[in-house]
Structure formats: C-alpha cells, structure tokens
Chain A
Amino acid sequence: MAANNYRHALFCAIVTLIISFPILGFNLEAKGINITLTGATTSTIIAVILAAVAVFVFQAFRDSFMVMLGKLPNLNPLAGKEPMEQSKRVKLESWVLTGIVVFALFWPFLVSRGSVDLATLVLIYIMLALGLNVVVGLAGLLDLGYVAFYAVGAYTFALLSQYIGISFWMALPIGALLAGLTGMILGFPVLRLRGDYLAIVTLGFGEIIRILLNNWTTLTGGPNGIGGIPEPTLFGMEFGRRIKEEGNTSFHETFGIAYSGEHKVIFLYLIALVLAVITALIIRRFMRMPVGRAWEALREDEIAARSLGLSRTAVKLSAFTIGAFFAGFAGTVFASKQGFISPESFVFLESAIILAIVVLGGMGSQLGVILAAIAVTILPELAREFSEYRMLIFGAAMVLMMVWRPQGLLPMRRIHITLNKQG
C-alpha cells in the first residue's frame, strides 16, 4: 500500500517535470532575424523542481492529507439547511433578478469607461448563452456551431449598412429574423441526427459560415472584414462628436451638455441591457408555454414524446430557430459595438465558450446561465495580471468547477418533492 503510494507519487512528480520543464524552462528569444532558444533563469528551474517535489509529497501522503481535510469544519453555511420551498424560491429568484437589473441600470454612471465596455460584452454573451440554453439546455440538442447565427446577425447589419445604409434599429429585427431563418434552413436537414452526430454536423455548419464569410471577398471583404458600422441612435440623435448622417441631430447638442465619449459607451450598454432583459423574458415565457414542455419532453425521452403525437422535427426546429434568433440579436449589437467585424470574431472558440457558459451555469437554468456568462467573461479580464498564464488559470478554474459542481452553478430545479406521511 505504502510502496504503491510512493511509486504513484514518483510517477506524478516525473510527469510534472516532463510537462512543465519544456514550457517554463526554455524561452524563445529574437536575435536579429533569428530566433534562438535560451535556458530560463535558475530561479525558474528551481521553482519547477520545487513544484515536482510538492507534487511528490502531496501524492505520497495524500491519504493523511485527505483525512486532515475531512476534519476541517464545513465552511458552507447552507450545507445543513433544507432546500427552499418552490414558491419561495421562485419569488426570491425574481426579486434577485429585478435587483440585479435595477442595479445594472445605474451602475455605468459610477464606473470607468472600460468597465462599461466590458459589461456590454458580458451582456452580449448573456444573450448568446440564453439563446443557446434553449437549444442545448432545454431541447438537449448539442449545437457546436452556434456562433454561425451570431455571425449571420452581425454580418446582416454590417452588409445592410454598407450597401443600403440601414440603421441599427432597422437592422436589429432583420438580423435576428435572418439568423432565425438560417437556423431553420440549416436545422432542417440535420435534426434527424442525434447526440454526437448532431454535434459534428453543427460544428461543420459553423465552420462553413465562417469560411464563406472569409472567402466571399467581393461581398464580405473576406478577412479584411467590414468597418464603419454605424452606432445606434436615440430617436435620430447621434452620439458622435460630428453628425454622420443628414437629418440627424447630435445627443450632446440637443441636451446642451458637453460632448463626452462616454455617452456612446453607456448608451450601447443600456441598449444591450434592455435587449438582454427582453431576451430573458421572452425565453422565460417560452419555457412556460406548451412548446417549452415539448422541448423538455423531447430531451427526456424522444420515443415517448413521439408516441404522444409530438412531431420531432417541428419541436427541434422551433428550439433551433428560437436559439438562432437570439444569436442574431446579439450579433447585431456586437457589430454595432465594435464598429468593425471580420470572420475572426466568429471562430469555433466562441461557440465553445458560449457552450461552456451554458454548461457551467447549469443547463436550462436562466439565472445560472446569466451568472456563468458574467463569470466566464470577467474572469479572464481579472486574471490579466497573470498575463500569459491567464488562460491556464481559466482552464484550471473550469476543470475544478466541473469536478465540484458538475450540475452547474445553479442547476435548473423544478422539484418539489413532497413526502406524504403514509403507512
């Protein structure tokens, strides 16, 4: 037993050395036009060796460590408490949500421009994650190409503004509808597939859209992207220093205040906030309608759902279309926020991150998904100090999260087990 432990510990320590030494022990340095490999400083090497020793010690005495950990008092104050009653929980949840929204309304006036900008991005991810939550969390269709619909929304706005000169408010419904339509068209042939096969095909579709955008240079500008996408206006008032379009007035002149670049950022944030709230409310409504129950039924047991007369295609297609619709929504906001888009913004990694948000938040749970969107977007920013290690930290955080709470931050809960006293 003990010998076994030491052998295992030695193995772990060697693996640590093998993995960390090439990564940390060598540096690439540019000398003139050549790149040379130089060894790292002694302190780094010592650190690597110390890490290996630490792994060895931990693995060798793991059992005693675990016993010690078990003796620590439980830090979770809620651990011993009974789960809340369903009605209470729902009430509390809606109060918390309302509180968050009210706070979010006033928050941008108190913080820096960079924070507001980041918050706008968070809201866009919230919209995306809420949309994907319908497809993955509720209907149980693993969609790895979700970013394609995001791209359709963004490019719809960009192209229409470039060629026809359409405004943000016109583009918003058009982009969302077009994304929804794309979802329906792409969905139709693939929805016979299930599980892994569906995932692979959706992955392919996501890439097709990106590659199409990349190579159709005459229309989309290819990898150069499209710039000069207009910002949203408030009843014909522009937020720039000078008016770009005739007939519009500028915001700061109308209200007789000094021009500030912050107005535009805050305005975009508020639009994103309103749209995110609308998205959440509409999807919440869908979840409580028969179609929402049909999604869940199909996820739980496809054969049973079909035996009740539900049409598999119609139910899956509705989920796919609605999910895509809100991705288009988010895409339009994104295009407007950036002012410039290129296919690079719509790579597979984006799909993966949105999916990670849904899974981390707890599939099907709206509040959970919102919290996860905030965490996943802000965490890499907070970890910026660690520069090149920040993605490493992010990855580690995700792994730990999945080990400790595989069901997500706030899993969807519908239940209410009432134990009847009976003989």
Chain B
Amino acid sequence: MSMLVLEDVHTHYGKIEALHGVSVEVNKGEIVSLIGANGAGKTTLLMTVCGMPQASSGRVILEGRDITTEPTAQIMRSGLAIVPEGRRIFSGLTVEENLHMGGFFNTKSEIRKSQSHVYELFPRLKEREHQRAGTMSGGEQQMLAIGRALMSRPNMIILDEPSLGLAPLIIKQIFEIIGHLRDEGITVFLVEQNAHQALHLADRGYVLETGKIRLHDTGKNLLANPDVQNAYLGG
C-alpha cells in the first residue's frame, strides 16, 4: 500500500527545470531515504510534494488522493508533516508555544495528548518548556522541529536534512528517534546528505542526481553499491 507516489514529476523555477521527471514511491510504514549531492534537487522534490512550487507536469498522490494542484495549506493539513531544512523553529516563541503551533488545527485535548507524547520522545524539550526556542542548542532545536511536526499527529513525516550542522552524538540520537517513529507506524521520508546513516536506517533508498533518479534499491544494497560508495560514502 503506498503512502506517497510521485509519477514523472517535472518542476520548474520560472523557466529552469529543476526536476526532470522524477518517480518515487513511499509505502506505508517504511523509512525511505533520498540521497544526493548539493543541487541535485532533493529539497525541490520535497517542496513539490508540499505544493510550493507545484509540479508543472506529472502527479503527486498522497494516500490515494491527487494533491498535485492542491494549495499548500490544504496539503499540510491532511496527515502530512514536514521538518523543513534548517529547522525553522519560531525562535521568538517558547518551546511550548512552538509545539502548540504544530497542533494549530487540533482540539485542545488532542494537543495535550500529543504534547505529552512529544515530551516522552524528547525529555529535553520538557525541561525547556518555557524557554525561548531560539536560545536552545542546535540539537535541541532540531528535536523541537521534529516534535512540532509530530504535534499534528501525521501519518507521514518528511525530514529535510535533520542532521545538518549537528554533533555526531546528537545525529545518532535523532536517527534513533526516526527509527522509533517507524515503530509507531509513521511513514518516514528522509532526505539526507549524510548518506551512510540515512541508508543504514532506511528500508529503501533513492539516489537523485541533477533532477533525475539514478538509482533505486533497498538501503542495504545501496550501501554495498560501488557507485554509491564512491560518490556518497567517501569511497
């Protein structure tokens, strides 16, 4: 059963085509990793799923529903959550207020429930509940960004470079949490430059190069693939 399907998606920025017909499939309950170099179009692919910018041709299907031309606000309210690149937490708001923003369209009791769930996953956030989010460390901010995305109780979560600029120990923690999310039944679509860890965790992986999918295999096979090793795993 597929959660998210991209069928031959082309995306343009003005006249420039950034994605040249990308097809990706993410099944329910999987972790799928998308790896690729800088400028390969990884973030563009994610943003196309969210509808900003919208795909110029091809189809994006979320849980059987065609969302290609739906407005961003509507897509983001239908069981999909994203942890954007560079975290993008609301640095002026407190940790708790950030979380409440994540559950903006939920009822109060739902918010309370998901809030305590997030605090279980990240006890560190509970400690910092009333602290201004911008004053926390990078790792804590990343935890907050993931927690905020979980507040809407999504079926699927998209993570854009969650390991960016973090210490190795924190990266390990974050990846552990991502594995834990799958165990809870949340489908994960992970975009990473940190190919080794991303593929290690993933059920399947895609390699994106200059706007096209070059390779597609299970995470294990990709790790063993000599081309991938040369290009992304440092030989």
Residue of A nearest to B98 (CB): A297
Q: Which residues of A contact B97 (CB under 8 A)?
A: 293
Q: Which residues of B contact A294 (CB under 8 A)?
A: 101, 104
Task: Assess whether B93 is in contact with A297, with CB atoms less than 8 Å apart.
Answer: yes
Task: Assess whether B82 is in contact with A307, with CB atoms less than 8 Å apart.
Answer: yes
Instruction: List A267-300 residues whose CB lies under 8 Å from chain B.
Output: 290, 293-294, 296-297, 300
Instruction: List B28-55 residues whose CB lies under 8 Å from chain A.
Output: 50, 52
A303 touches which one: B71, B84, B132 (CB < 8 A)? B84
B84 touches which one: A290, A300, A307, A414 (CB < 8 A)? A307
Q: How far is the CB of A86 from chain B (nearest CB, A)?
A: 8
Task: Assess whether B152 is in contact with A296, with CB atoms less than 8 Å apart.
Answer: no
Report if A301-B104 is in contact (Cβ < 8 Å); known contacts: A310-B73, A420-B127: no
Task: Assess whether B89 is in contact with A311, with CB atoms less than 8 Å apart.
Answer: no
Task: Assess whether A308 is in contact with B101, with CB atoms less than 8 Å apart.
Answer: yes
Alpha-carbon separation in the docked complex, A306 to B90 (Å): 12
Task: Assess whether B73 is in contact with A304, with CB atoms less than 8 Å apart.
Answer: no
Task: Assess whether B131 is in contact with A418, with CB atoms less than 8 Å apart.
Answer: yes
Instruction: List A298-322 residues whose CB lies under 8 Å from chain B.
Output: 300-301, 303-312, 314
Report if A308-B94 is in contact (Cβ < 8 Å); known contacts: A415-B132, A418-B130: no
Q: Which residues of B contact A416 (CB under 8 A)?
A: 94, 130-132
Report if A297-B71 is in contact (Cβ < 8 Å); known contacts: A303-B88, A417-B131: no
Q: Which residues of A contact B74 (CB under 8 A)?
A: 309
Residue of A nearest to B128 (CB): A420
Q: How far is the CB of B195 from chain A (nearest CB, A)?
A: 24
Q: Which residues of A contact B82 (CB under 8 A)?
A: 307
Task: Assess whether B92 is in contact with A296, with CB atoms less than 8 Å apart.
Answer: yes
Task: Assess whether A414 is in contact with B152, with CB atoms less than 8 Å apart.
Answer: no
Q: Which residues of A contact B76 (CB under 8 A)?
A: 306-309
Q: Which residues of B contact A420 (CB under 8 A)?
A: 127
Interface code B71-109, partner A: CB below 8 Å = 1, 0 otherwise?
111101100011010001111111001001110110000
Q: Which residues of A contact B153 (CB under 8 A)?
A: none
Task: Assess whether B100 is in contact with A414, with CB atoms less than 8 Å apart.
Answer: no
Task: Assess whether B52 is in contact with A308, with CB atoms less than 8 Å apart.
Answer: no
Q: Which residues of B contact A414 (CB under 8 A)?
A: 92-94, 132
B88 touches which one: A301, A415, A417 (CB < 8 A)? A301
What residues make up the interface of A, taking CB atoms closer than 8 Å to B?
Answer: 290, 293-294, 296-297, 300-301, 303-312, 314, 414-418, 420, 422
Instruction: List, sorted by A's number, 11 A–B pairs whose CB atoms are closer than 8 Å.
Output: A297-B90, A297-B101, A301-B89, A305-B90, A306-B52, A308-B76, A308-B101, A309-B77, A312-B73, A415-B131, A416-B131
